[in-house]
Amino acid sequence: MDGYAWVTIIEIFLTEGNACFTSSQVEINKIKTGSSFYQECRCDDPSSGVNLIWLDANNKTILPLRPGTKSNVYSEWLDKHTYSVYISNISKSTSGAYKCVTKHSGQTYMLTYNVEAYDPPYFVNTKENQYVISGKDGIITCEARGENDLLIKWHKEGEELEITDDEKYKVTPEGLIIKEITKEDEGVYKCSASDLDTGEGIDRDIKVEVIATPSIKELVAFPNTTPTLGESFYIECLASGVPHPEYTFRKISDMDLAETNITWQQVGNRIVFDIIQEEDSGTYECIATNRAGISTKNISIEVFLPPIITEFDNVTAVEGSTTQIVCKATGIPTPQISVTFLGEESEDQSIVWDKKNPNVNETEFYLSFLRVNRTHEGTYQCNATNEVGSIMEEMQLFVLYPPHFNTSYEKVWAWKDKSINLSCEHQSNPKAVITWRYQGNEILATDLLEINRLMADKMHSNPLIIKNKTLYGIYECTARNEFGEAKKIIHLQEGFTPPAINNVTITKITSSSVTFSIEGPNEVNGPDVIGYRSEYDEIDNYNITNIHLNRTWAKDRSFKLDRLKPNTSYVIKFAAINDVGNGPWSNIFNFVTLDRSVPNEPDWDENVEQLVASDRVLKWKPADSSDTVEFYTLKYCPIYDGLIAKSLCEEEQIEPTDEFQLNKMDANTTYYFELVAQNALGNSSAVRITVTIPAEEEPTLSSGAIAGIAILVIFLCLVLLDFLLLIWRRQGIIASCCYKKTNKREVSINSRDKKGLLKENPENIDKLKRPSNGHKEYEYNKTTGAITGKHSSV
């Protein structure tokens, strides 16, 4: 207490003499902070004068409000004997004892009103919306503070009973613990706090939502985790959680996060790479977040790169040295390399190859030539391939070598006024420098001058062109490059026409034509003979005129004159021709054409039987004839059992030729052939042969064996005939033996056939069977003498 204040009070008491009340009492008032307080103090005995004052907690007199002032604590006269005090806003600082004091006879009486301000309970940390996590224990926070201990009570909206501690709930000063939260626990909870002392209570509705932590269910890449460079690509993340989680992505990188370029754009739960780049390879993290928590998952991406050939350079090597072609390629996955030579492959043991992988995603291919030569020169292709692509490049291997001539000596003919090119053709790499030298001797000084001029002019040219004035002699061409040199000698000689020919023989003469054989000349001092010329005429004309018929033949043609008159004497002379010109005429030859007549008979080829067996072709030598043979007539008949089947003979006219294909003939059958040549004058005599067409795919029988078999068959037939006649005569049936024999065979071949078909029309049956087995009754009686030819069997 302030001592000074007390002095003041005592002074007041001493100056006043009346008392309004004579009792003292103490009253306690608990008042909520912020509310107001009002207390009247009545003077019960106003007769002795109203003597009342109010003292505040500090024993200061509380004064009434004066106009224009404001005070939290003031006093007021309600009427003449009621004096009241107002506290408009109670706080802790205004708490204390407020006293109404009166005095009587030196006695001080006071009514004491203890005003105790108290704070009402209030909530701290109590949010109106709260979240608990599904599946876990959670707490609904509700903390209340107050002057005194507070009683906290919980209610859930829609439920009557107060929540008390049990298996599910536990009420704590911090809040309500709910165990094993499920969706059911969602709702509005009322938290009530009451001050038992003051009776003050507060409550709050708390809306509780049950949430779930995110969980990433799927993190997938499209189209796959190995996209190809340049493709569009995305990664999708799928997470569960309540509320629905938010997605973020990041690339996990050794570098600082800041340094990782974001090369994608996020669209919802995806990150999209419009054009994926090599540096986009790596591990990506999807982060799913909501109020309940966070979940992450990683995915690794490798961007596939199509192969790139990083090295495949042209190589130049000197022949005989060791060299190497290198192809290097990179790509993801690591590429495979192959190298191909676009040239003639050879089994070259001196070429070896090797492969290396110096780094992941890099392949090197080495093609080594232990001794490179010019056949290795050319284009090489390197092909690098991996799962996502293939690339091909080409390089050139250049092989350097000294000049080389295919022939080191050449003889060249020239003659008057002929331009000539002397060729110094060679192979070399690099290109060689050509120089010419002339070694002619015995030449005129003027010519030498000319040659020197020419050489100076054409020192390095190829070919050396010599025009108009021909300078014979030996020319030497030298081709030189940095790896060596080679020489070629060209002997330029004067060429002459061929000498006269005198060895001409007639190889064939007819009524209208003559064919010559021309020999030589043996030695030509000049270019080779390219043809022959002739001049001819009837002997009677020859001396009358200078204009004769002439004919020129190329060297390799048949030297034949035709459209001659029959039975006429001719004269003819010949000359050989070369590039220089016509040689001199030969001596004159005479010949006489033949009289016209029918052709001679043609002759069979020496190997006719062998050719029939092996090639199925009938060959002959063309018939000699004064007039041209116009056609041949070939007649052919099959032979059965050694007998010519005359009714089956056929005849064909053939254009002049010397062979006839036997494809339409029956196999395993012997034929009789007759050949006649015909010209304008008539037919030659016939030439005949009997040959057997071999069975198909069977070893052929020699003609001797065929003849032997034919004889044997006929012999057996005769024996059988004899025997059968004997038997059938006894039975009274007269029939040909062969018919019967055929009949019997048919039975044995096909017993169901019996004899029916054969009886009906035996001739038809025989024709039907002819190709494989021919026994002809009607031929039997007409046999003898018909089988002719080299191997007549009868």
Ligand X SMILES: *[C@@H]1O[C@H](CO)[C@@H](O)[C@H](O)[C@H]1NC(C)=O
Question: Residue numbers of the site for ligand X (CB under 6 A)?
Answer: 313-314, 383, 385, 390, 392, 396, 421, 463, 465, 503, 517, 519-520, 549-550, 668, 695, 698
Select 159 or 519, whichever has its Cβ closest to ligand X.
519
**Shortest distance (Å) from residue 617 CB to ligand X:** 21
**Shortest distance (Å) from residue 289 CB to ligand X:** 49
Select 229 or 395, whichever has its Cβ closest to ligand X.
395
State both tokens at 377.
């020169």
The SS3 call for residue 727 is helix
Select 96 or 378, whichever has its Cβ closest to ligand X.
378
Q: What is the DSSP string of 540-602?
A: HHHTT-S--EEEEEETTS-EEE-SPPTT-EEEEEEEEEESS-B------EEEEPPPP-PPPPP
**Shortest distance (Å) from residue 582 CB to ligand X:** 9
Phi (first) and psi of residue 574, to 5 degrees: -125, 155
What is the spatial order of strands in the sheet that 473-481 belongs to? 409-414, 484-494, 473-481, 433-438
Distance in angstroms (rounded) separating the CA atoms of residues 639 and 710: 10
Q: Which regions of 418-568 does DSSP assign to beta strands (E)?
A: 420-422, 427-429, 433-438, 464-466, 473-481, 484-494, 503-509, 514-519, 529-538, 549-554, 559-561
Select 298 or 421, whichever has its Cβ closest to ligand X.
421
Neighbours of 93 (CB within 10 A): 9
With contact defined as beta carbons under 8 Å apart, do 288 and 214 qualify? yes
Peptide bond before residue 584 is cis, with ω within 30 degrees of 0: no
List C-alpha distances in Å: 383 to 214, 303, 308, 313, 331.
50, 21, 10, 14, 13
With contact defined as beta carbons under 8 Å apart, do 400 and 483 qualify? yes
170, containing H or E segment: strand 169-171
Nearest by Cα to 495 from 397, 420, 578, 415: 415
**Shortest distance (Å) from residue 609 CB to ligand X:** 17
**Shortest distance (Å) from residue 552 CB to ligand X:** 9
The SS3 call for residue 86 is strand
Residues 6+ apart with CB under 8 A from 775: 640, 641, 738, 739, 741, 742, 766
Select 273 or 536, whichever has its Cβ closest to ligand X.
536
**Shortest distance (Å) from residue 794 CB to ligand X:** 18
Phi (first) and psi of residue 459, to 5 degrees: -45, -45
**Shortest distance (Å) from residue 706 CB to ligand X:** 10
Neighbours of 370 (CB within 10 A): 12
Select 75 or 386, whichever has its Cβ closest to ligand X.
386
Select 115 or 492, whichever has its Cβ closest to ligand X.
492
**Shortest distance (Å) from residue 742 CB to ligand X:** 13
With contact defined as beta carbons under 8 Å apart, do 37 and 90 qualify? yes
Q: Is 749 exposed, middle or buried (0-12, 13-18, 19+ CB in 10 A)?
A: exposed
**Shortest distance (Å) from residue 606 CB to ligand X:** 23
**Shortest distance (Å) from residue 520 CB to ligand X:** 6
Select 519 or 651, whichever has its Cβ closest to ligand X.
519
Select 357 or 773, whichever has its Cβ closest to ligand X.
773
**Shortest distance (Å) from residue 314 CB to ligand X:** 4
Select 256 or 523, whichever has its Cβ closest to ligand X.
523
Q: Which DSSP category does 517 fall into?
A: E
Select 279 or 519, whichever has its Cβ closest to ligand X.
519
Select 392 or 500, whichever has its Cβ closest to ligand X.
392
**Shortest distance (Å) from residue 667 CB to ligand X:** 7
